[in-house]
Amino acid sequence: MIELENIETGEALSGDEFEYFIDDDTLIGEVYLDGNLIFQEFDVVDEKQLKRKLYKIFKITKLNNEIDDIFSDFTN
């Protein structure tokens, strides 16, 4: 289970799986939570950059079994 909270609005989201998509032609990055679009950003070149921008908008309030996967990009 993943639970996120929008830092600005307080909106809470929950789900089980993140999916990241980056269009190489338009450089638009999208983040989906259980198939629902939750975040979109322009001028994104890779998944690492998209994750960094996501976590400036959302904070994780609950996370099970994905902590190493999600935060591994920030420790390398």
* pLDDT at residue 36, as a whole number: 97
Q: Does the global pTM surpass 0.85?
A: no
Task: Please report which confidence band the pLDDT of residue 72 belongs to, taking 50, 70 and 90 as the band edges.
Answer: low
d(CA 71, CA 52): 10
Using a pLDDT cut of 90, give the percent of the chain over it: 76
Average pLDDT, the chain: 87
Per-residue pLDDT tens for 33-70?
999 999 999 999 999 999 999 999 999 888 775 554 55
Looking up tokens 């190493």 gives: 68
